[in-house]
């Protein structure tokens, strides 16, 4: 297998002919495709038959939260109307520095939006899976947990232990066996691992 | 001031009664002179003679060899170190990260540059805070780099560029342009092209490329015509100039000639930048494979 070609930003890669197009890490200008990243060159065939020219950097790609991206956040403030959080991971890539996000009361659940109580859905310190619904305002991204698979993934109880999910709205502390209210994310069966006891 | 009075009192007492020395304080020598008075740099002569050999023996149209290395600051997203014989600096790029105090919402990302000479880098000690000249350089560097970065790829985020000059022997701005664009590429920030910088010094009829600190323009100089310097930032692959700055009084024809020469030198720098980036990518590929 030949070594992949390494290119630098501004390097002219090829002419933009019939079935060639620029993908990630490349841009088109004056009928030519140029590289915009320093990395290795890859060509991928699209479903429509066009060849996409892309440049990859093997290490963590630069990720900024974009609309419809799945993000992992840590809740920082909880209010009656919304909760503020810090985006720590976008998709699979952990961020070096956090972005600010906000989950509004009407975006917590898909149904019965007016019956949502923020203090019974999230608490500060919870790790939550959410989806970016918009770039929001100048301060924070707008996030939503209005899907079954989104919501609280990890939480610590008032006693300080890591809680175990019991239902879509409750989590149980293994130490005190107290149940606390959270908007819990549904564990997808393909990711469950059963321990043999 | 209180301390000084005490020291003087103690010294006076010691002079009179030969008491034991004060061991709590580290006293300096009783008399001292400024080190700048020992400099042999002659200010009365014009810095650039009308003809003759340059201080480092180069010809008028030769630039100094460049050394570039990426990945020198581990905490930063991307970094680069450049050496142009005597001029040495490090550039660290952080981001894209959240903007702390944002004025308005914008779909474009922001780019900020901070240029700083370390206090020991220049002939005369620099301040710890950014002074006027460094703030100027920061703005000029931002002007040179902004056209090259794809800002729309990181909306609501900012990329911070920090230049730290370790040693200044002329052409700090030009070297910082080259260094910063290589650091941005190392950080994985999408760019239309690398930006290379070069500067020239005009003195009378002479056009000196890549002046060292002894040849650099200073406004305190003699009043011959055509006395100034030009710095050009060029995107070689797109063949576009992203920034031109000049100081001093220069006739238009000479200015044109200086910019043309700078552009041709910038084109020569392009392979060096590409080489350093290619080497670092190769290393990463090899590391990932093992």
A100-136 pLDDT, tens digit per residue, is 999 999 999 998 888 899 999 999 999 999 999 998 8
Q: Which residues in chain B are contacts of A138 at CB distance < 8 A?
A: 99, 102-105, 156
Mean pLDDT, all residues of chain B: 87
Token pair for B212: 């060292």
Mean pLDDT of B243-250: 91
Mean pLDDT of A35-61: 83
Distance set, CA B7 to CA B12, B32, B234 (Å) = 8, 16, 58
Q: Does A44 touch chain B (CB under 8 A)?
A: no
Edge to edge, the sheet with strand B227-235 lists B206-209, B196-203, B227-235, B240-249
Evaluate if residue A43 carries a pLDDT over 80.
Answer: yes
Evaluate if residue A8 carries a pLDDT over 50.
Answer: yes
Q: How many Cβ atoms are within 10 Å of A181's Cβ, its own excluded?
A: 14
Q: How far apart are CA B80 and CA B93, in angstroms?
A: 9
Q: Is the ipTM of this complex over 0.90?
A: no
Contact B252, B243 (CB under 8 A): no
By Cβ distance, the residue of B102, B194, B280 closest to A138 is B102
Predicted TM-score (pTM) of the model is 0.85
Q: How far apart are CA B226 and CA B211, in angstroms?
A: 16
The string of pLDDT tens digits covering residues B189-240 is 999 999 999 999 998 888 999 998 888 887 765 666 778 899 999 999 999 9
More confident call, A147 vs A48? A147
Q: Which residue of A has its CA nearest to B75?
A: A96
The kind and range of the H/E element at A41 are strand A39-45
Mean pLDDT of B152-163: 92
More confident call, B8 vs B149? B149
Q: Which residues in chain B are contacts of A139 at CB distance < 8 A?
A: 102
3-state secondary structure of B208: strand
| Nearest in space to B211 (alpha carbons), one of B180, B182, B173, B170 | B170
Token pair for B191: 């760019």
Query: How far does A67 lie from chain B, in Å, by closest CA?
Result: 11
Q: Which residues in chain B are contacts of A100 at CB distance < 8 A?
A: 98
Q: How many Cβ atoms are within 10 Å of B150's Cβ, its own excluded?
A: 16
Please report where in the chains the tokens 């880098």 appear, as a residue. Answer: B121
Evaluate if residue B265 carries a pLDDT over 60.
Answer: yes
Torsion of CA A160, A165, A170, A171, to 10 degrees: -10
Contact B114, B89 (CB under 8 A): no
Evaluate if residue B252 carries a pLDDT over 50.
Answer: yes
Q: What is the largest CA-CA distance in chain B?
A: 80
Evaluate if residue B6 carries a pLDDT over 70.
Answer: no
Query: How far does A97 lie from chain B, in Å, by closest CA?
Result: 6
Q: Does B152 touch chain A (CB under 8 A)?
A: no
Token pair for B269: 């720098």
Q: Which residues in chain A are contacts of B282 at CB distance < 8 A?
A: 6
Q: What are phi and psi of B105, to 5 degrees?
A: -70, 135
Evaluate if residue A189 carries a pLDDT over 80.
Answer: no
The kind and range of the H/E element at B260 are helix B252-289
Residues of chain B numbered 243-272 and touching chain A (CB < 8 Å): none
Residue B140 has what pLDDT? 96
Q: How far apart are CA B40 and CA B250, in angstroms?
A: 29
Mean pLDDT, all residues of chain A: 88
Token pair for A99: 């972005």
Q: How buried is residue A38: exposed, middle or buried, by Cβ count under 10 Å (0-12/13-18/19+)?
A: buried
Contact B156, B98 (CB under 8 A): yes
| Nearest in space to B236 (alpha carbons), one of B200, B199, B275, B196 | B196
By Cβ distance, the residue of B77, B109, B277 closest to A38 is B277
Mean pLDDT check: name the lowest of A112-126, B2-16, B258-272: B2-16
Mean pLDDT of A1-28: 86
Q: How far apart are CA B75 and CA B101, in angstroms?
A: 23
Q: Does A175 touch chain B (CB under 8 A)?
A: no
Q: Which residues in chain B are contacts of A85 at CB distance < 8 A?
A: none
| pLDDT tier for residue B18 given thresholds of 50, 70 and 90 | low
Peptide bond into A135 cis (omega under 30): no
Mean pLDDT of A31-54: 87
Contact B73, B169 (CB under 8 A): no
More confident call, B28 vs B275? B275
The string of pLDDT tens digits covering residues A74-86 is 999 999 999 999 9
| pLDDT tier for residue B290 given thresholds of 50, 70 and 90 | confident
Percent of chain B with pLDDT over 90: 57
Evaluate if residue B54 carries a pLDDT over 90.
Answer: no
Evaluate if residue A54 carries a pLDDT over 80.
Answer: yes
Token pair for B254: 């000479």
């Amino acid at each position: 297998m030949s070594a992949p070609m390494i290119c630098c930003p501004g390097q002219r890669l090829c002419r933009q002919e019939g079935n060639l197009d620029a993908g990630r890490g490349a841009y088109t200008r004056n009928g030519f495709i140029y590289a915009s990243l320093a990395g290795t060159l890859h060509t991928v065939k699209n479903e429509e038959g066009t060849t996409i020219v892309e440049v990859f950097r093997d290490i963590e790609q630069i990720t900024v939260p974009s609309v419809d991206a799945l993000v992992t956040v840590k809740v920082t403030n909880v209010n009656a109307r919304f909760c503020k959080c810090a985006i720590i991971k976008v998709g699979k890539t952990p961020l070096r520095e956090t972005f600010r996000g906000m989950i509004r009361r009407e975006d917590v659940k898909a149904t019965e939006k007016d019956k949502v109580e923020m203090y019974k859905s999230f608490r500060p310190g919870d790790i939550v899976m959410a989806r970016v619904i918009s770039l929001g305002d100048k301060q924070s991204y707008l996030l939503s947990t209005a899907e079954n698979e989104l919501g609280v993934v990890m939480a610590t109880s008032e006693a300080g232990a890591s809680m175990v999910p019991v239902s879509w709205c409750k989590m149980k502390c293994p130490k005190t066996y107290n149940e606390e209210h959270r908007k819990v994310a549904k564990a997808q069966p393909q990711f469950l691992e059963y321990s043999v006891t | 001031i209180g301390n000084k009075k005490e020291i003087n009192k103690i010294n006076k007492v010691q002079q009179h009664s030969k008491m034991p020395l004060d061991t709590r304080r580290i006293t300096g020598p009783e008399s001292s002179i400024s080190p700048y008075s020992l400099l042999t740099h002659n200010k009365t002569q014009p810095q650039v003679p009308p003809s003759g050999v340059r201080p480092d023996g180069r010809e008028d149209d030769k630039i100094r060899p460049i050394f570039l290395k990426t990945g020198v600051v581990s905490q930063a997203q991307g970094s680069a170190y450049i050496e142009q014989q005597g001029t040495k600096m490090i550039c660290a790029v952080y981001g894209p990260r959240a903007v702390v105090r944002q004025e308005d919402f914008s779909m474009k990302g922001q780019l900020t540059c901070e240029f700083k000479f370390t206090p020991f880098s220049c002939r005369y000690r620099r301040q710890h805070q950014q002074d006027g000249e460094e703030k100027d350089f920061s703005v000029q560097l931002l002007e040179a780099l902004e056209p090259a970065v794809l800002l729309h790829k990181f909306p609501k985020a900012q990329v911070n560029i920090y230049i730290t000059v370790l040693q200044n022997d002329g052409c700090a701005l030009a070297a910082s342009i080259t260094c910063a664009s290589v650091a941005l590429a190392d950080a994985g920030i999408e760019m239309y092209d690398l930006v290379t910088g070069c500067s020239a010094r005009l003195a009378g009829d002479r056009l000196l490329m890549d002046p060292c600190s002894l040849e650099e323009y200073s406004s305190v100089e003699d009043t011959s015509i055509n006395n100034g310097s030009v710095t050009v930032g060029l995107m070689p692959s797109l063949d576009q100039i992203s920034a031109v700055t000049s100081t001093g009084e220069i006739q238009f024809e000479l200015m044109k000639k200086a910019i043309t020469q700078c552009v041709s030198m910038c084109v020569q720098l392009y392979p060096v930048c590409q080489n350093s980036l290619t080497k670092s990518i190769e290393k990463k590929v090899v590391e990932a494979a093992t």
